[in-house]
Amino acid sequence: MKTTENTVLITGGTSGIGFEIAKLLSTTGNQVIITGRNQHRLNSALSQLKNASGILGDISSKVDTENLVATIKKDFPELNVIINNAGKAVIHNLLEEEDNFGIAVNEMLTNYLSVIRLNQLLLPLLSEAKEAAIINVSSILAIVPRFIATSTYAASKAALHSYTLSLRTALINSNIKVFELMPPLVNTSFSSEIGGENGIPPSEVAYALLNGLKENIHEIHVGQTQYIYDLYLKSPEEALQAMNQKRE
């Protein structure tokens, strides 16, 4: 996959992994479009980026998504890369939280269903490009869940992982390549409640993505993710135990 001269849409690009990807791609010869739900944060992110534009909106909203797609078609018809990065995670306990269902609904909508909607609406545009890509940002939790704090978030990422495999197979003979980015724990505000300060910097995830695209690695395992994935292939039970060890 080429990594320059692309027009790239990054959902949730105002902070964390999305912002670091936007920063890296915008300085390596790409036009970047980021989305965000907060105008102030969107403006702040754009002030730190080159070759970047911003579109305000919530990817979990049908109306906002339709407006986003209309803007893309009008102002950025050369779009050829989508990075589905926007996500939601709520820290909770399956045995104590009173609204596990409501939490799961919100996470599933943002992390999984919204990705399907956006991809479906933009697939016709991507199909017109000479070379295009869809990159879904999932998590190692899609393979090995952690019941502590992030169980339903892990389930939404597992759904995204399965969908990504199906979409890649469906598009195998097309001009559109489908990638999955699997980070481990990353030091961002998004993960601050679950010990994010112990995670890798988001810039490391961005560079791993860039290298994975260059090498056409369809499932990009970042950092410790590779160890957990290899352990899962060897023994799913050991991997589950390792992921669910109590962390002080």
- Please give the average per-residue pLDDT across 60-77, as a whole number: 98
- pLDDT value at residue 189: 66
pTM value is 0.94
Of the given ranges (78-82, 142-146, 172-176), which has the lowest mean pLDDT? Answer: 142-146
**Cα angle for residues 11, 16, 19 (degrees, 5° grid):** 55
Q: What is the pLDDT of residues 16-48, one digit of tens each?
A: 999 999 999 999 999 999 999 999 999 999 999
Q: What is the pLDDT of residues 82-137, one digit of tens each?
A: 999 999 988 888 888 789 999 999 999 999 999 999 999 999 999 999 999 999 99
Contact present, 185 and 16 (Cβ < 8 Å): no
Cα–Cα distance measured from residue 148 to residue 9, given in angstroms and rounded to the nearest whole number: 33
CATH numbers and ranges of domains, the chain: 7-243 (3.40.50.720)
- What's the burial of 126, exposed, middle or buried (CB within 10 Å: 0-12/13-18/19+)? buried
Could you tell me the pLDDT band of residue 248, with boundaries at 50, 70 and 90? very low
Q: What is the pLDDT of residues 158-212, one digit of tens each?
A: 999 999 999 999 999 999 999 999 998 887 666 555 555 667 999 999 999 999 9
- pLDDT value at residue 191: 57
- pLDDT value at residue 92: 86
At 109 the three-state DSSP class reads helix
Is the predicted pLDDT of residue 247 greater than 60, yes or no?
no
Cα–Cα distance measured from residue 248 to residue 237, given in angstroms and rounded to the nearest whole number: 22
Could you tell me the pLDDT band of residue 240, with boundaries at 50, 70 and 90? very high
Catalytic (active-site) positions: 153
At 83 the three-state DSSP class reads strand
**Cα angle for residues 14, 154, 192 (degrees, 5° grid):** 45
Could you tell me the pLDDT band of residue 149, with boundaries at 50, 70 and 90? confident
Contact present, 32 and 8 (Cβ < 8 Å): yes
Contact present, 81 and 11 (Cβ < 8 Å): no
Give the number of other Cβ atoms within 10 Å of residue 142's Cβ: 22
Is the predicted pLDDT of residue 246 greater than 80, yes or no?
no
The H or E element spanning position 111 is: none
How far, rounded to the nearest angstrom, does the alpha carbon of residue 49 sit from its chain's CA centroid? 19
